[in-house]
Amino acid sequence: MFLSRIFSRLGQSIVGLRVPETSEEFSEETSEEFSEELKLSLFDQTMLRTYIRTIACFPFPDASRASEANEAIKAGLQATISQYPFLAGKICLGPSGKDDGKLSLSYPRKAQGVSEAGIFTLKDFADPSKPESVIHVQANYIDGGLLLSVYLHHSVGDGVSIGTLIRCLAENVRLRGEFKSKAAAADPSLSRRELDQRAFPPGTPHLPTPEFRIVDIRESSIVPSNLPHAQVQVSGRLFVLTAAMRAELKAKVMDHIKNSDDYRPGWWVSTMDCVAALIWILVTRARAPHLDHTVETKIGMTMDVRKKLNLPSDYFGNAVLFTFTSLPVKHLVDEARPFYALVAGAASKIRLAYLHFTETAILHRLTMMAGLKDVRNISCAIDFNHGHDVFWNSWGDFGCDAEFNIPGAASDTPQWIRKPWSRQDGGNMLMPKKPGKDVDWEVLVQLEMPDMERLCSPGGLAEWAARIIE
């Protein structure tokens, strides 16, 4: 509970993230020092304008070594900035931003010291400085522990990107900044320009994109459902799912699939498909008292498209979309239906949606984004906050195995990586985990408080979890 209060304070400090209206708001810095510019891709421009927020937790028994730890982190961060210079940049609406909403990112030609640039702060639980900065790294010390927060602006990178950042930072901290594992790209904008050029020619009709909602923000009075609403009191809890539980779930789901009348030889679903389907069903049942049972519930599943687009696996930028799957609410809440048949059906639909997301389908979405009059008009068509839908995201590979070797820390790798703030009703994610098939999975579920109580009751997800962490 103590860590929960700390994380809440750290997260709340950036809830009101504001992108500066024009570059004039820091024109004195951009005139000379911030003379380089990173082109943001269409995926970057249409991404949610917030931070990806992580906190790596280390046991730190000897507080007298905090200064030594800070120097090592600072040296590692300085080396990381030399590899990715744009991480020292700032974001604002570009010259055309008032018309099309597009952002620009400028960064220094000559690297600044990370403390002087406001990228690395040492104050306990400080506001993460200027909200338009690309990253923030902050060391916080509590009794017996070090909380190392790493924040990346989502308009610059996705989950794979922050995993790359954490691993790069860890290597540079471990080597005390003496060796850089990767030289800075000669032109960091090149890969983004090449990605945008893969959109189909202007005027090309694109395939339907049901996972997105397009609304003119300047003419509409609609409040997007994915924004926080004060009247929705949300609780976030971690459900620990063991390897044995996951294996049993998948085995029973596959048994049902193989014994069904419409089984196609070779058809399979992944463990992730099964876990996401299980949570989709049980969250829908927990919400059942206030749902409209005549409509459908949707699940959005994030998908890294690097492989499908033949991008490098360490491409630093946004290359994530999400699949869209729906089923009738009444179907999922019907307890007369065989439970594993429900999970198998939901998992199969999730897998099918992924397979339908081909390179062509992805490029059609890129083409749609290229045709937007204002990139701020696009949003996720998921009904969050007292809604019917759920969203599944995976932070599993966020660097929980990254070896920092921070002086004074009792563990070379983070004991955990946590999300400091959780109030997105319907948002679910697999938290960062150690490598290996036999490790526990920590699944963060965020729900309205009455629904969470039902989820933690008999018949809910609590029956599948080895333990629940508040």
- pLDDT tens-digit readout, 52-111: 999 999 999 999 999 999 999 999 999 999 999 999 999 988 876 678 999 999 999 887
d(CA 26, CA 71): 29
pLDDT at 21 over 60: no
pTM of the model: 0.88
Check for a shared fold between 2-198 and 234-397+422-469. Answer: yes
Q: 144 φ, ψ to 5°?
A: 85, 5
Structure tokens at 46: 């249409």
Q: Give 421's Cβ-side CA count (13 Å radius).
A: 16
Max Cα distance, the chain (Å): 69
d(CA 356, CA 211): 14
- pLDDT tens-digit readout, 165-207: 999 999 999 998 665 556 666 789 999 999 999 999 988 888 8
> Helix %, strand %, coil % for the chain, to 5?
35, 20, 45
d(CA 83, CA 324): 36
Burial class (CB in 10 A: 0-12, 13-18, 19+), 93: buried
Q: Name the H helices within 260-323.
A: 271-287
DSSP 190-220: HHHHHHHTTSPPTT------TTEEE--TTT-
Q: Where are the domains of the chain?
A: 2-198, 234-397+422-469
Average pLDDT, the chain: 87
d(CA 186, CA 346): 46
Across 269-421, where does the E strand assignment appear?
A: 296-304, 320-328, 378-380, 390-394, 416-418
Structure tokens at 392: 């599944």
pLDDT at 22 over 80: no
Local structure of residue 256 (DSSP, 8 states): H
Do 170 and 401 form a contact (C-beta atoms < 8 A)? no
At 441, is the secondary structure helix, strand, or coil? strand
Structurally, at CATH architecture level, domain 234-397+422-469 sits in 2-Layer Sandwich (3.30)
For tokens 């921070």, name the residue.
406
- pLDDT tens-digit readout, 359-412: 999 999 999 999 999 999 999 998 888 899 999 999 998 889 999 999 999 999
Is the C-alpha dihedral spanning 40, 45, 47, 50 positive or negative?
positive
**Which pLDDT score, from 0 to 100, does residue 115 have?**
80
At 147, is the secondary structure helix, strand, or coil? strand
- pLDDT tens-digit readout, 411-454: 999 999 998 877 789 999 999 999 888 999 999 999 999 999 99
Local structure of residue 237 (DSSP, 8 states): E
Fold of 2-198: Chloramphenicol Acetyltransferase (3.30.559)
Q: How confident is the model at residue 223 (pLDDT cuts 50, 70, 90)?
A: very low
Do 139 and 56 form a contact (C-beta atoms < 8 A)? no
- pLDDT tens-digit readout, 102-138: 999 999 988 778 887 778 876 544 444 344 789 999 9
